[in-house]
Amino acid sequence: MVRGNDVKIIDMHCDTIHKIWQNNAKENPEASVHENLESDELMINLEKMKQGGYSVQNFAMFIEADDTKDCFKRFNDLLSVFREQMDIYKDIISPVTNAFEIYENERIGKLSAFLTVEGGEACQGDIEKLHYLYAQGVRMMTLTWNFPNELGYPNIDAGKMKFKDDSFRCSPYIPDTTHGLTDKGIEFVREMERIGMIIDVSHLSDAGFYDVLKYTKKPFVASHSNAREVCPFVRNLTDDMIRQLGERGGVTGLNYCHDFLFNDTIDEEMRAIAYKYKFADKGLDNIDNEGKSKDYNDRYEQDRRIKDNNVSCDRGKIISERFMDITYNKIAEHARHIVNVGGMGVLGLGSDFDGIPCYSGMPEADRLNYLAYALHKQGFSDGQIEDIFYKNVMRVYKELK
């Protein structure tokens, strides 16, 4: 039976560069970098990648439209951070634009960084800016984030989600089946296909998904989306979408976000375990009403000490291990459903590390052996796990120039 670090891994989405920028340059543009790809505070870092068996990590330049007046400048700010990190750690990791470069990095023992953009507003509706992104090494772009832009509409419009008192005025379980790509968006997806930039439909509205299907011919991806039949959050894909994506030769990446995995805010099995063991010495007071850890650093430090064998096996370890088992089993449930609907070639990984809230039992980049085991329990063979972890996404990357 394979372990997570026995097979190579490609992860189609993380927001780690944005997290580094947010914690450094955003607060003080003149400051020297004090958080980087070695930082323990990050959900994914170089050491976790090495320990987890990673070959490729997609690093998204996440454009948060409501946080900037100039999305193109924000892209360049993030690109500067990405390039700085690549330069600092050039002996460990280097940027790639195609499968050949990935294979070459594997040959010499280096990790690969695949540059992507999350939020087509980075281009401000200008095709020449799309060409600029391509020239900088971008080979995948999510058409929208959670705001409408020049290219199209998302399933979740963050600007309309909540009233000031945090009550919902529209549901994250009702998709937008009316508003899809704009005329400019149709122009963009055709041009992306022509130049060799992968179209990413995660976050895009249901109507937008079918517009991409209509106006393109090559494989595209949903870099970080699960199965809506298992969890009805609209960020996930319907069975018909999964089927159509598989027939096109595309891939969807399993997202580790709690809200996209579980139907309930906290799974009943998790709640039962929490009450039984009382979270070691902290009790349920350390878990908020969505089942998320109130103090990521405390949880991380505890788990790190456990893994370093500096503490004895205690209730805290039992809680951490049991919760992680439940989460990986749920991810495997999504995986089984997606493959049953769309075929073995339609599934990859898209963690969304450093872009999602931490929660008790959250997967960790250096412990994907848990996921491999959970997938085995769902009936996946060693070869099929390798397809999910690596080969299916690499198949799509082989089409790039």
Question: What's the confidence (pLDDT) of residue 276?
Answer: 53
Question: Residue 350 belongs to what domain range?
Answer: 4-261+332-357+364-397
What tokens does 285 get?
Answer: 């007071």
Mean pLDDT of the region 5-30: 84
311 assigned to some structural domain: no
Domains of the chain: total: 1
303 assigned to some structural domain: no
CA distance 21 to 389: 28
294 assigned to some structural domain: no
* Residue 118 bridge partners (DSSP): 62, 142
pLDDT-based confidence at 80, cuts 50/70/90?
very high
316 assigned to some structural domain: no
Is the pLDDT score of 263 beyond 60? Answer: yes
Q: E-strand spans in 201-323?
A: 221-222, 251-254
pLDDT tens for residues 208-222?
999 999 999 999 999
Rounded CA Rg of the chain: 20
Is the pLDDT score of 165 beyond 70? Answer: no
Specify whether the CB–CB gap between 179 and 171 falls below 8 A: no
What tokens does 16 get?
Answer: 């780690």
CA distance 46 to 54: 9
118 assigned to some structural domain: yes
pTM of the model as a whole: 0.87
Question: What's the confidence (pLDDT) of residue 24?
Answer: 81
What is the CATH classification number for the domain harbouring 127? 3.20.20.140
Specify whether the CB–CB gap between 147 and 65 falls below 8 A: yes
47 assigned to some structural domain: yes
Secondary structure (3-state) at 301 = helix
Question: What's the confidence (pLDDT) of residue 10?
Answer: 98
320 assigned to some structural domain: no
pLDDT-based confidence at 266, cuts 50/70/90?
low
110 assigned to some structural domain: yes
Q: CA dist 57 to 135, 331, 344, 353, Å? A: 20, 19, 22, 10
- Of 58-62, 179-183, 292-296, least confident by mean pLDDT is 292-296
Cα 24-356-45 angle, rounded to 5 deg:
55
| Phi/psi of residue 86, nearest 5 degrees | -65, -35
Is the pLDDT score of 303 beyond 50? Answer: no
Minimal CA–CA distance to 136: which of 81, 76, 62? Answer: 76
> 């100039």: which residue's tokens?
70
Specify whether the CB–CB gap between 131 and 215 falls below 8 A: no
> 């989405």: which residue's tokens?
13
Specify whether the CB–CB gap between 78 and 16 falls below 8 A: no
